[in-house]
Homo-oligomer: A and B are copies of this chain.
Amino acid sequence: MNDIDYDRLSTAELNAIHAQLLEAYEAYKRQKLSLDMSRGKPCDEQLDLSLEMLDIVGSGDVLTDRSGLDSRNYGGLDGIPEAKDLFAQLLDVSPSELIIGGASSLTMMHDTLSRAMLHGVFGSSLPWGKLPAVKFICPSPGYDRHFAICELLGIEMIAIDMLQDGPDMDQVEKLAAGDDAVKGIWCVPKYSNPDGITYSDEVVDRLARMETCAGDFRIMWDDAYTVHHLADEPDRLKPMLAACKAAGHPDRVLMFSSTSKISFPGAGVAVMAGSENNMNFIRKQLAVQTIGPDKLNQLRHVRFFKGPAHIEAHMKKHAAIIKPKFEMVLNLLETELGGKRIASWNKPNGGYFISLNIMDGCARSVVRMAAEAGVTLTKAGATFPYGHDPRDRNIRIAPTFPTLSELKTAIEILCLCVQIMSIRTFLNRRGANGAETYV
Contacts and interface: CB of A to CB of B under 8 A. Distances in A.
A104 B290 CA distance: 7
B41 A265 contact: no
Nearest to A114: B114
Interface in A178-215: none
Interface stretch (A49-57, A134-142, A242-250): A49-57
A267 B71 contact: yes
A72 interface: yes
A68 interface: no
Interface stretch (A24-32, A146-154, A230-238, A305-313): A146-154
Given A104-B291, A288-B152, A267 B297 contact: yes
- Kindly state the interface size class of chain A when it binds its partner: 35 or more
Contacts of A58: 54-55, 58
Given A265-B72, A288-B110, A54 B47 contact: no
Contact of A106 (B129, B152, B291): B291
A70 B47 contact: yes
Nearest to A71: B266
B72 A293 contact: no
A266 B290 contact: no
A341 to B, nearest CB: 37
Interface stretch (A73-81, A385-393, A423-431): A73-81
Name the residue in A51, A70, A74, A295 with the highest tally of chain B Cβ atoms < 10 Å from its Cβ: A74
A294 B57 CA distance: 16
A20 interface: no
Contact of A289 (B42, B70, B76, B111): B111
A296 B266 contact: yes
Interface in A57-90: 57-59, 61, 70-76
Interface string A90-120: 0000000000001110110011001001110
Nearest to A284: B152
A54 B60 CA distance: 9
Contacts of A57: 54
Interface string A358-388: 0000000000000000000000000000000
A285 interface: yes
Copies of this chain, tallied across the complex: 2
A398 to B, nearest CB: 11
A71 B264 CA distance: 9
Name the residue in A117, A151, A260, A264 with the highest tally of chain B Cβ atoms < 10 Å from its Cβ: A264
Interface in A282-332: 285, 288-297
Given A129-B118, A288-B148, A291-B106, A39 B296 contact: no
Nearest to A69: B266
A59 B119 CA distance: 43
A174 interface: no
B289 A107 contact: yes
A110 B290 CA distance: 8
A250 to B, nearest CB: 25
B118 A72 contact: no
Contacts of A119: 152
A44 interface: yes
Given A118-B129, A267-B296, A290 B54 contact: no
Contacts of A294: 102-103, 266-267, 294, 297
A145 interface: yes
Contacts of A72: 47, 50, 264-267
Interface of A: 39, 41-42, 44, 47, 50-52, 54-55, 57-59, 61, 70-76, 102-104, 106-107, 110-111, 114, 117-119, 129, 145, 148-149, 151-153, 260, 264-267, 285, 288-297
6 contacts: A72-B265, A72-B267, A102-B293, A104-B290, A104-B291, A104-B292
